[in-house]
Amino acid sequence: MKVSPSMLASDFSRLAEEVRLVERAGADMVHLDVMDGVFVPNLSFGPPVIAAMRPHTNLFFDVHLMMQYPDRLVDAFVKAGADSINFHIESAAPVQETLRRIREAGVKTALTLKPNTPAESVFPYLDQLDMVLVMTVEPGFGGQKFMADMMPKVTALRKEADRRGLSLSIQVDGGVNEETAKVAAAAGADIAVIGNAFFKAADPAALTAEVQKL
């Protein structure tokens, strides 16, 4: 699996060092959680903070937008340094048009599903997506328990992508650690978003290498 540490669990007073730690640990990409206080009951950070992190690593920036109107800020996030825009199918954004705008801005496209949203809801867009993110907790907060009952959803997405011959990446996000990453890999996920388990690990590089072996 690829490892994508979530900066939400990092020390915000030292973001530059934390993002350099992610790179030193050998991680594959960086997961950036944007919360608007409307779509989810929490606030995190936006384009200026992402732009401030950008000069400190060359790693791929995957921006997970937990926003009611993600379409309004696509260009701002691309300008800030996003390499992919990951937005929720449950948001108020016009899905087709937003995907097209993300593509035109020159970055990768991804749709995210909350736990109660079925896999089939993204099937109409699958051919236009680089990644799908399956939430394994209710979005809004780090440090929650992994919902193993989301694994059939991961498998359904993998099966449909294979059936269509698509090289789709499937991410899991929420409560992922060395143990739950195994379960997700077996179900067909290939990217592990890891927040608390990464930043609280005694040896983040060892954890990263362990998950990359899956």
Give the C-alpha separation, 117 to 7, whole Å: 25
Chosen from Zn ion, ligand DX5, none, partner binding at 194 (C-beta under 5 to 8 Å by type): ligand DX5
| Residue whose CB is less far from Zn ion, 57 or 112 | 112
Q: Please tell me what DSSP assigns to residue 145.
A: P
| Residue whose CB is less far from ligand DX5, 119 or 194 | 194
Q: Which of residues 5-34 bind Zn ion (CB under 5 A)?
A: 33
Chosen from ligand DX5, Zn ion, none, partner binding at 144 (C-beta under 5 to 8 Å by type): ligand DX5
Contacts of 101 (CB under 8 A, 6+ apart): 71, 74, 75
Closest CA to 51 of 69, 71, 70, 34: 34
Active site residue 71: no
Q: Please tell me what DSSP assigns to residue 36.
A: B
Q: Which two structure tokens, joined as six digits, stand for 32?
A: 């950036």
Contact footprint for ligand DX5 (CB under 6 A): 6, 8-9, 31, 33, 64, 137, 139-144, 173-176, 193-197
User: Of 28, 33, 36, 71, which residue is the catalytic one?
Assistant: 33
Active site residue 83: no
Among 64, 88, 153, 158, binds Zn ion (CB under 5 A): 64
Residues in the chain: 214
- 114 CB-side CA count, 13 A: 14
Nearest distance from residue 52's CB to ligand DX5, in Å?
19
* C-alpha 175 chain-centroid distance: 13
Q: Does 88 bind Zn ion (CB under 5 A)?
A: no
The three-class DSSP label of residue 96 is helix
| Residue whose CB is less far from ligand DX5, 6 or 57 | 6
Q: Which residues are catalytic?
A: 33, 173
Residues that bind Zn ion (CB under 5 A): 33, 64, 173
